[in-house]
Amino acid sequence: MARNKEIEINTRLGRRCIDTDKVIRFPRGLAGFEDEQSFILLQIRHEAPLLILQSVNNPQVGLLVADPYSFLQSYPVLVGDAEQKLLQIERMEDAAILVTVSIPAGEPEKAALNLTGPIVINHKVRIGLQVPQGAEGPSQINMHSLKPVEPGTEPVANSEA
């Protein structure tokens, strides 16, 4: 049985050993980071719903991301035929969806899910794309106004929001 190749990289979380078989290739890069095409998902803490999408080659490029369905019951993502072909998916159910999270410096209560540019990943072939969405619906949702979604329930806004 072949052993996976591991490499050590610098990340926003410090030096990490990563399995090269888990690197996700972004042929178009990401918005603002078009030259960065190799990323890895890093877990911040086991119980936390947030991950870091970390560039393998540039330790300064690490985006905070989350599964939007942990917070939203419904978040339709439109992916065109060309993007589906590039991602090598036949159905959207075969892809994972992530959104970036922004947290203003010193204001964690203003953390927001950014909904205009979801990241779509085919984990089977390790290919990802950021797919800009239309202007319909909110572009951001404050995370502190939401309670995590329990399977089979509707999200509820916190009364404190």
Report pLDDT digits (tens) over 19-69.
999 999 999 999 999 999 999 999 988 877 899 999 999 999 999 999 999
Q: Which of 80, 67, 76, 79 is nearest to 146 (CA)?
A: 67
Rounded to the nearest integer, the mean pLDDT of the chain is: 85
- DSSP secondary structure code for residue 132 in this structure: -
Whether the pLDDT of residue 149 is over 60: the answer is: no
CB 59 within 8 A of CB 10: yes
- Domains of the chain from N-terminus onward: 6-145 (2.30.290.10)
Measured between alpha carbons, how far is 134 from 52 in angstroms, rounded to an integer? 25
Give 58-87 pLDDT, tens digit per residue.
999 999 999 999 888 889 999 999 999 999
What is the pTM (predicted TM-score) of this model? 0.82
Whether the pLDDT of residue 160 is over 60: the answer is: no
CA geometry: angle 62, 68, 71, nearest 5 deg: 125
Measured between alpha carbons, how far is 41 from 50 in angstroms, rounded to an integer? 10
User: Do the bridges between strand 50-55 and strand 127-130 make them parallel or antiparallel, or are there none, so unpaired?
Assistant: unpaired
The pLDDT value given to residue 147 = 60
Whether the pLDDT of residue 144 is over 90: the answer is: no
Question: Residue 157 — pLDDT band, cuts 50, 70, 90?
Answer: very low
Measured between alpha carbons, how far is 105 from 109 in angstroms, rounded to an integer? 10
